[in-house]
Amino acid sequence: MSIQVITPELRRWILEQAEAGVSPEQTLASMRNSGWEDPVSIRALEETLKKSLGLTPDQDPSLPRGVPVPEPALEGMSNKLWAGDREVEVLVAMKHPRVVVFGGLLSDDECDAMVAQSESRLSRSETVTLTQDGSEVNSARTSDGMFFDRGETELCRRIETRLAKLLHWPLENGEGLQVLRYKPGAEYLPHYDYFDPQHASTATILKRGGQRVGTVVMYLNTPERGGSTIFPDIGLEVLPVKGNAVFFSYDRPHATTRTLHGGSPVVAGEKWVATKWLREGVFD
Ligand SMILES: O=C(O)CCC(=O)C(=O)O
Ligand SMILES: [Fe+2]
């Protein structure tokens, strides 16, 4: 599977087609003939044409409604935030998409303990696919993983409480922590963390807690080489550093959130992360 990137040249060409009176359907057909995948073409067409009309996502009736999202208190632009039991550094903050890189979210001991407590329970990662019943092993994701239940251990509870304070988001609206281990060569191809409204399994998944609206990827070690978290739409690469974390939020299940992201291949050593997904509603 290759990832097709929507470049400025492509956007310019789409606008030229529209200006020349070519219908969006015809433009889509031309793109298909040149090897573009339909979902990518449709996204490129929608984004480009709407932007040229000056529509914001909130003004656009064809998009899913935006909802409140978790958000750290960054207004004062302090480079340290108190998370209830620990001071956390703010290393990078971006507004659209909202991406915040935190330093020292977890202590070294907490990272080591998460690895130790999850290691014996790892198995090949699954992702949600088009099948009715949920998940299956997928080549897009070559890590090993496991889920803790929310509040399963004292350490899970401590981290979950800290994240709830840091992000002003109810503890009850969080999934259990997921731990992933990537060996050399393992990666997680770019994806969105929200559930695709078009997937057959999504309606069932949403009954428990609603959509995902935010993600925290916490680095449990510093890989020797590789394994950064990449955001292809915005050209951002977050280097994994033990104890640090990258947070991002998405107020609607749509590409306009620009939260496409992945784990790039680990080159040397292992990469361990704990991921926390935050839901719109109570996840129980
Ligand atoms: O490993 C990473 O850097 C990204 C992980 C991720 O995207 C996820 O767990 O959903
Ligand atoms: Fe993800």
The minimum-distance atom of ligand 1 relative to the CA of 143 is 1
How many whole angstroms from 11 Cα to the centroid of ligand 1?
28
Share of the chain above pLDDT 70, in %: 94
Residue 136: pLDDT above 60? no
Nearest residue to 42 (alpha-carbon basis) of 232, 237, 256:
256
236 within 8 A of 262, measured Cβ to Cβ: no
The pLDDT tens digits for 204-234 are 999 999 999 999 999 999 999 999 999 999 9
C-alpha span between 91 and 229 (Å, rounded): 15
Residue nearest to atom 2 of ligand 1 (CA): 263
pLDDT at position 51: 80
Q: E strands, the chain, where?
A: 80-82, 87-94, 99-103, 123-124, 126-128, 135-137, 144-147, 178-182, 188-191, 212-219, 225-226, 229-231, 236-238, 245-249, 261-263, 266-268, 271-279
Mean pLDDT over all residues of the chain? 92
Contact 179, 143 (CB under 8 A): no
Does ligand 1 lie within 6 Å of residue 181's CB atom?
no
Q: Which two tokens stand for residue 165?
A: 């304070």
Q: Could you tell which of 180, 192, 195 is best to mutate to test the pocket of ligand 1, judged by most ligand atoms within 8 Å of the CB?
A: 180
Smallest CA separation from ligand 1 atom 9, residue: 275
Which residue is it, tokens 């956007």? Answer: 11
Q: Find the range with the poorest average confidence among 49-63, 106-120, 141-155.
A: 49-63
| Residues near ion ligand 2 (Cβ under 5 Å) | 193
**Which ligand gives the minimal distance to the CA of 237?**
1
Q: How many whole angstroms separate alpha carbon 271 and alpha carbon 241?
A: 10
Range of weakest confidence among 24-28, 136-140, 236-240: 136-140
Q: Cβ(211) to ligand 1 under 6 A?
A: no
43-84: pLDDT as tens digits: 899 889 888 888 888 888 888 999 999 999 998 778 999 999
CB 150 within 8 A of CB 276: no
- How confident is the model over 185-210, as pLDDT tens digits? 999 999 999 999 999 999 999 999 99
Query: 1 falls in which pLDDT band (50, 70, 90)?
Result: very low
Tell how far the Cα of 108 is from the centroid of ligand 2, in angstroms. 23
Ligand 1 neighbour 256 (Cβ under 6 A)? no
Highest mean pLDDT among 44-53, 135-144, 269-278: 269-278
How confident is the model over 130-147, as a mean pLDDT? 69
| Residues 116/183, Cβ–Cβ less than 8 Å | no
